[in-house]
Structure 1
Amino acid sequence: MNMKVSKSPSTALYPVPAVLVTSVLEGYQPDIITIAWTGTINSEPPMVYVSVHTSRHSHKLIKESGQYVINIPSAEQSKELNYCGKVSGRDVDKFQNTGLTPVPATNVQAPLIKECPVNLECQVRQVVSLGSHDAFIGEILAVHVNEDILDAQGKIDYSLAKPLVFCGGQYFMCIKGNNL
């Protein structure tokens, strides 16, 4: 039998989604931040959250604009995902440096990322200050999905979407396996 060992409290939940969050504020260029602290938080109305460190450039853009887009990258965007998590939008134009394409959203000012197969337009409904991070709870106003990842029933085929997760400091691709 395995014995349990107690550890200090930490962010030990794994895996977590790895996404690219876009934001913009008047007078600033659109920015992209890599976020792994995100998830679904409500179904009616559909709501998600992103948790952003208060020192990050994107924190200011999201807090002041009240909007963001969660762009779900595929394995093909892993290099860009990694880059956007390591540099600050205060210093560089991440769209220009990654070659990712900003596309106008339908309900918010923040752009969609064309290369990401799924995009969720979000309006901030509540900000929860947690200490080092603020959680931006956003209502999903629109969902955009590339047609080529939809199955015959119009649902997302995750094996075609190839989403990424963050686990133990590394990114992994979700793969189709045996259903449990």
Structure 2
Amino acid sequence: MKLNWKPGTMIYPLPAVLISCGNKPEEYNLLTVSWVGTICTNPPMCYISVRPERHSYPVIRDNMEFVINLTTKDMAFATDWCGVRSGKDHRKFEEMGLTPGTSTIVKAPYIEESPLCIECKVREIIGLGSHDMFISDVVNVLADERFIDKETGAFNMEKANLLVYSHGHYHELGNEIGKFGWSVQKKNKKT
């Protein structure tokens, strides 16, 4: 039997990412976000949703760019801490021992400790209610070579030990149970 609940955001798990922003070192900041996702493959587009009262909001709005940094089990404490502390009171990179890297296309830094960093340029900002959505073009992706499969060239999510967020809790990703299309894949017949 199913129970009726009030409408809410119950699509979990979600990636727990750190958004890096700012176009000069004294402005650099980190913001933890789980309202993040893919919008389009071609052209590559994604979004983040941010509350207007957050310290990073005007930094992202004014610079119109940011970096989505995937996080790992080893980055869990910093991911949570950056979400509950304000950049107006803290120098988050320094206090969490994270290293700002120089991005390839955008001026916002990336996090060197992150296994995958997605450079984004904001295309449009849509006010939605509690959050505003930053619809963005993906202009570059930086991947840590330690997590690239040498045979396939694919990014190895399991090896990276990525962090996800689910209804107030952080989790590491579990074991792979299949790949896209495995349910209809033809089996090799033995002769």
Opposite residue 165 of structure 2, the aligned amino acid is F
Using the TM superposition, give the Cα deviation of residue 40 of structure 1 relative to its aligned residue in structure 2, in angstroms: 0.4
Spell out, residue by residue over 1:45-72, the C-alpha distance to the aligned partner (whole angstroms, 9 max, x if none). 1011000011001111111110000000
Correspondence for 1:86 among 84, 87, 91: 84
Task: Give the number of aligned pairs.
Answer: 178
Q: What corresponds to 1:40 in structure 2? A: 38
Structure 1 residues without counterparts, runs of 5 or longer: none
CA–CA separation in structure 2 for the residues paired with 1:129 and 1:10: 18
Q: What corresponds to 2:60 in structure 1? A: 62
Opposite residue 9 of structure 2, the aligned amino acid is T
Opposite residue 156 of structure 2, the aligned amino acid is D
Correspondence for 2:69 among 68, 71, 87: 71
Q: What corresponds to 2:152 in structure 1? A: 153
TM-score in terms of structure 2 length: 0.90
Opposite residue 147 of structure 2, the aligned amino acid is I
Opposite residue 178 of structure 1, the aligned amino acid is I
Secondary structure class of the residue paired with 1:76: helix
Opposite residue 131 of structure 1, the aligned amino acid is G
Opposite residue 19 of structure 1, the aligned amino acid is V
Q: Is the 8 A contact 1:51 1:133 kept in 2?
A: yes
Q: What corresponds to 1:144 in structure 2? A: 142
Opposite residue 85 of structure 1, the aligned amino acid is G
Using the TM superposition, give the Cα deviation of residue 28 of structure 1 relative to its aligned residue in structure 2, in angstroms: 4.5
Structure 2 residues without counterparts, runs of 5 or longer: 184-191
Using the TM superposition, give the Cα deviation of residue 165 of structure 1 relative to its aligned residue in structure 2, in angstroms: 0.9
Q: What corresponds to 2:93 in structure 1? A: 95
TM-score in terms of structure 1 length: 0.95
Q: Is the 8 A contact 1:29 1:93 kept in 2?
A: no
CA–CA separation in structure 2 for the residues paired with 1:114 and 1:28: 18
Identity %: 37
Using the TM superposition, give the Cα deviation of residue 25 of structure 1 relative to its aligned residue in structure 2, in angstroms: 4.6
